[in-house]
Structure 1
Amino acid sequence: MSKHSTPGHSQLTRTHKFSLAGVAALGAAALAVTLVPGQDTQAQAKDETVAAAPVAFTTDAGAKQIKDVHASVTDQQAAASEKAKQAEAKAKARAQAAAEKKAEAEKKAQAEAKAKAEAQAKKEREAQEAAARAAARKPVYANNLDGWIKESLAIMKDKGIPGSYDGLHRNIMRESGGNPNAVNGTDVNAQNGTPSKGLLQVIQPTFDTYHVDGTANSLTDPVANLVAAANYAADKYGSIDNVDSAY
């Protein structure tokens, strides 16, 4: 026979090779029957022939099994890929949700800060406007005896302390002659170390006890002296108007 292969048939598939192997096995079995005489030998050869016959069928089953395994692996790879895609999509969705939540929180915080700043600005503006209105309404008193008495009467009215212009003026003229810095250094109070001072000649302990909030904390301040004296007179005599002598 020629050693050259027929063109187009130089390569055999795996299945063809398995088939040829089966045929070769059958040929070997037949040859064994021919060479060994006797019925037992023929029976054994027949059995071997029958046993060798399934080789070709086993080859087809193996090919199918390989195909099935390949399909199973392919399916598993596809399932794993799909699962990975789903996990990635979920992670991406969670990250997106977290980013949106953070952005919303920042937006809310900015809105609250803006509202707070606007409220504070409004409060300060209203306070300034109220102060301006109060300043516009507040009368300006002259820095003299008339002005001191009038300012004292306004404070006394606000604090509920009784007294009149005449009652204050009359006692001022008798006690100090209208001098806010007058000091009595000869009476019993002076001898006790607490001289009478100011427009209505008040001693320091009396001033400290009857001082009115909103006035200066100074015994010789004209308005503070008058209001404290009027407060003391209201407590002891009912009103400064009821005082006609040293009190």
Structure 2
Amino acid sequence: MPANGQPRRARITRKLALVGTGAAVLALPLMGATTASAHTTTTATAATTAATVYPNNLDGWIRQSLSVMAQHGIPGSYDGIYRNVIRESSGNPNAINLWDSNAAKGTPSKGLLQVIDPTFAAYHVPGTVYDPYDPVANITAACNYAAARYGSIDNVFGAY
């Protein structure tokens, strides 16, 4: 029996346990670094997604609107929006209709999807600018209205 009063076998076992624990401790930082890297990547991806910059054109406006719509559960597709925008305004965000029945009543249709002010006010979606001429706000409000009335902008094939 050694001088410390413990049998030799127990001391060797304890050393192996310490070595094993040491290896586990050494492995944990490596595993932790891998996990932290994965987390950092996820966070960076989320930040990139949140900071997506859309082009300032019809394609970008539709894609940005679809992103906002997805966040609010508003149905619609790129093709459905595009088809209606081309029919209503030919893609001009400053389009205004000064001759139809709405205009005769003092509320002309405005913007890409020709929304009148009361409809824009009722169906405006938070997270977009409160301006019926703003392309993203106009598309998103119009799609919100179309969803409430027709189920989706995809179901609109004429003046609405």
Asked if these proteins are the same fold (TM beyond 0.5), I'd say yes
* AA at the equivalent of 1:227: T
Q: CA deviation at 1:136?
A: 2.7
Point out where structure 1 has 5 or more consecutive residues left out of the alignment: 1-130
Q: What does 1:145-160 align with in structure 2 at a 5 Å threshold? A: 145-160=58-73
In structure 2, the partner of 1:244 is: 157
Q: Percent identity at matched positions?
A: 65
In structure 1, the partner of 2:109 is: 196
In structure 1, the partner of 2:146 is: 233
Output the aligned Cα RMSD.
Answer: 1.5
* AA at the equivalent of 2:152: S
Query: What TM-score, normalized to structure 2?
Result: 0.70
1:137 aligns with 2:83: no
1:218 to 128, 131, 144: 131
Q: What does 1:11-30 align with in structure 2 at a 5 Å threshold? A: none
Residues 190-234 of structure 1: per-residue CA shift (max 9 Å, x gap): 000000000000000000000000000001000000000000000
Q: What does 1:81-92 align with in structure 2 at a 5 Å threshold? A: none
- The structure with higher relative contact order (CA 8 Å, sep 6+) is 2
Structure with greater helix share of residues = 1
Q: CA deviation at 1:137?
A: 2.6
| Structure 1 residue runs of 4 or more that deviate by more than 4 Å after TM superposition | 131-135
Counting matched residue pairs gives 117
* AA at the equivalent of 2:69: M
1:180 aligns with 2:93: yes
Q: Find the structure with the greater CA-based Rg.
A: 1
